[in-house]
Structures are given as C-alpha cells and as structure tokens.
Amino acid sequence: MPPQVQDLNTLIGQYQTALAPQKQQLDSQITANDQSGQVQQQGLGAAKDTAFQDITQQANDRGGYFSGFSPDQQAKYTAATYLPALAQLQSTIAGTRASLLGKEADLSATANTSALTEQQQEQKNLQSYQEQQAAAAAAAAEAEKTREFQAGENAKDRAATLAAANAKAAQITPAQQQAQDFAAANSYLSGKVGGDQKVSPNVWKAAEKSWVDAGYSAASFKSNFGNYINSNHAQDYT
C-alpha cells in the first residue's frame, strides 16, 4: 500500500491538538496577568485615595486647605507617585501580555512548521515509493523480455537440433540406396513379365536406362536382371 500524504490543514489540526495544553496554560497566564493588573491598578487607586485623604486631613488640621495647600500636594502626589507607578504597572502588564501572546504565536508557528515538514516528508516517502514501483515494473518488463528472448532462442535451438536429427536419420548409406534401387527396378520388371516370365525388349531398355541414369553401369543391370531377358531373341535387348 502506498504511503499516504495527509492534508496540510489536517496535520496542522493534529499538532494544534497536541499543543493545546500549552496554549491553555498560556491563556490562563494571560487571564491571570490581566486580572492581577486590574487588582494592582485598583490598589494604586486605593493608595492614591488614602494619600489624598491624608493630605486633606493634614491641610485641615493646619487650616491650610482653603489656601490651596491640599490641591497642590495632591497634584504633586499624582505627578510624582501615582502616575509613574501606574505607567510602570501598565507597562509591566502589557509587556507580560505581549510576551505570553508571543509564546502563543510561537506555538501556532510550531504547529504550522511541523505540519508542513511532516507533509513534505510524506510526499518524499510517496515519491520514493512510486520510483521504487516504477523501477520494479521496469525490471520486471526487462526480465520478461529477456525470458521471451531466451525462450525463443531455446525454441530455435530445439528446432535446429530436431532438424539435424531428422536430416541425419534421413541419410542412407550407398549400400542402402543401391538396395532400394535394386528393389525398385526388380519390382518394375517383375510387374511387366509375360507368360514366359520374361519382359519385352522395350521394357528392359526403359528399366536399364533408369538404372544407368541412377549412376549404375549397364553391365551391372544385366548381371542383376538378366533373368528377365528372353534368350530366344537376346539380341533385341541390346
């Protein structure tokens, strides 16, 4: 079975699921940071209110509230203490939040990068599998060609061997050939005899010609088949 290449979004979802506990922890830290910041800002506000009350009380005790002493001291406290502390707190809260959000962004980037890397590896695995299958198919085809060629050559060899064997079997010796020619001539002559068991001069001469044409001598024909000559007119056979 060929390797599967998963959909990129599916892979990203799998990595996001695996990283979900870490993201939940970061979400909790972000919420805790926001809540802590609100509490601390409320604390600064409460400290400011207390300081203003002390300043007002001191001014009343000294009879200086209506001379502008209290608002001046409150303004100094706000500028020198409250606002710098509030700015520092808000900066810390924002910095912590940015850091935590950055870590969440890193988790998303990790999920995306890991998913893409895995998909690329799966694609490489599939390509390698396909190349191996193609190579195997090519090798099988080449082996089949070789097998067919060898089978053809073997068939040719067998045919040549059989033909040689048949040719060898068909060959006869000169003695065998002479025996066959003798039998053929004798069969011909015996089939042409008359009541005297002799053949006519014409039959004799025709058989003699065939014998000589086959490479034998006229003398050998006469010595082998002279019994078919009618001696009463032997001169007619020459």
Give the DSSP letter string of 172-218.
--HHHHHHHHHHHHHHHHHTT--TTS---HHHHHHHHHHHHHTT--H
For helices 218-225 and 174-190, angle between their N-to-C axes, nearest 10 degrees: 60
pLDDT score recorded for residue 61: 67
CB of 198 closer than 8 Å to CB of 228? yes
Per residue of the chain (238 residues), what is the pLDDT tens digit? 889 999 999 999 999 999 999 999 999 999 999 999 999 999 988 888 888 888 777 767 666 545 445 677 888 888 888 899 889 989 999 999 999 999 999 999 999 999 999 999 999 999 999 999 999 999 999 999 999 999 888 888 888 888 877 776 667 788 888 888 888 888 988 988 988 899 999 999 988 998 999 889 989 989 999 899 998 888 988 8
Cβ atoms within 10 A of the Cβ of 71, count? 13
CB atoms within 10 A of CB 236: 13
- Single pTM value for the model: 0.51
Residue 169: per-residue pLDDT: 66
Give the model's pLDDT for residue 62: 66
Q: Are 97 and 33 in contact (CB under 8 A)?
A: yes
Q: Quick one: tokens of 174?
A: 């000169």
